[in-house]
Amino acid sequence: MRGYFGVGSERISKPMNLGALLRTAHAFGASFSFTVGAHHNIREIERADTSKSANHLPHYTWDTIAELRLPEACQLVGVELDDRAVDLPSFRHPLNAAYLLGPEKGSLSDAATARCTHVVKIPTRFCVNLSVAAALVMYDRVTSMGGFPERPVSAGGPPPISDWRKVGR
Q: What's the CATH number where 130 sits? A: 3.40.1280.10
Residue-range definition of the domain harbouring residue 139 = 4-150
Residue 169's pLDDT is 46
Residue 163's pLDDT is 53
Question: For residue 155, is it within any domain?
Answer: no
8 near 98, Cβ under 8 Å?
A: yes
Question: For residue 168, is it within any domain?
Answer: no
Question: For residue 164, is it within any domain?
Answer: no
93 near 71, Cβ under 8 Å?
A: no
Question: For residue 92, is it within any domain?
Answer: yes
Question: For residue 160, is it within any domain?
Answer: no
Residue 157's pLDDT is 76
61 near 37, Cβ under 8 Å?
A: no
79 near 133, Cβ under 8 Å?
A: yes
Element (H, E) at 21: helix 15-27
Residue 41's pLDDT is 60
Q: Report the number of distinct structural domains present in the chain.
A: 1
Tens-digit pLDDT profile for the chain (169 aa)? 689 999 999 998 888 888 889 889 999 999 999 999 987 665 567 767 777 777 789 999 999 999 999 999 999 999 999 999 999 999 999 999 999 999 888 899 999 999 999 999 999 999 899 999 999 999 999 999 977 888 777 888 776 666 555 555 4
Question: For residue 27, is it within any domain?
Answer: yes
Name the DSSP class of 152.
Answer: P
Question: For residue 107, is it within any domain?
Answer: yes
How much is the pTM? Answer: 0.87
Question: For residue 162, is it within any domain?
Answer: no
| Residue 114 CB neighbour total at 10 angstroms | 10
